[in-house]
Amino acid sequence: MLDPNNIPPVADDELLARFIVNSNEKRDDGSVRPNLFLPYKLTALSVTRHRETTDQEIWNIGRQVAAQRVKTLYGRADIRASSCRIEPLDVVESWQVENPNHADIVGYPPRKDEQLSLAEKLAAAIEGSWIGTPSDQDGSGVTT
């Protein structure tokens, strides 16, 4: 995990994880639905940086996120920071005590149709397929 006392800015080539905690945020063909990248109330969207983190640590953070929301962790979608930096969006470090690798996709406009359009582009830009939670035994997860 990143050192909380030395959090670097998010570089363009960094991989970011967005956790899937609602079944309607993923599709059977391995893609994700735009609603995975729709912000609500806050005009920012939480992601977790892969930088200096093991896969196990990423999944542990995902399990914490799901537990806090009393939801099932279905998996995660990974996306490059550069793919998120489409006008007017940006990615900024936003470390938290429980997750020093936390970052936010910021800059969503208030109009719903503009948000939908950006969410469609982010959903189309994930790296490969969404990845099922390792302990997922029901076969619904897509592993890469």
Partner 1 sequence: MANATLGGFSDAAKYLNAEAQRLRTEQQEAVTFSRQPCFDELWEAWQPCKEANWDGEGADPIEHETYQNAYRLIEALPSGLPSPTIAAEPDGHLSFEWYKHPRRLLSVSISPDGTLYWAALVGSEDPRGSCHFFDEFPKTLLYWIARVCIEC
Q: Tell me which residues touch partner 1 (CB under 8 A).
A: 21-22, 24, 27, 29, 31, 33-35, 38, 40-41, 68-71, 111-114, 116-117, 119-121, 123-124
Least distance from partner 1 to the Cβ atom of residue 54, Å: 26
What is the distance between the terminal CA atoms of the chain, rounded to a whole angstrom? Answer: 23
Q: Helix and strand tally (H, E) in the chain?
A: 3, 6
What letter represents residue 73's amino acid? L
Q: Which is nearer to partner 1, 9 or 109 (CB)?
A: 109
Nearer to partner 1, 28 or 56 (CB): 28
Tokens of 130: 């969404």
Closest approach, Cβ 111 to partner 1, in A, equals 8
Query: How far is it, in rounded angstroms, from Cα 97 to Cα 108?
Result: 25
Residue 122 beta carbon to partner 1: minimum distance, rounded to whole angstroms = 10
At its nearest, how many Å lie between partner 1 and the CB of residue 82? 17
Of 51 and 65, nearer to partner 1 (C-beta) is: 65
| Minimum CB distance to partner 1 smaller for 40 or for 97 | 40
Residue 35 sits at φ, ψ, to 5 deg, of -65, -15
Token digits for 58?
């990423």
Please state the closest distance from residue 92 (CB atom) to partner 1, in A: 20
Please calculate the CA angle 59-62-63 and round it to the nearest 5 degrees. 90
Of 51 and 105, which CB lies nearer to partner 1 in the complex structure? 105
Neighbour tally for 55: CB within 10 Å: 11
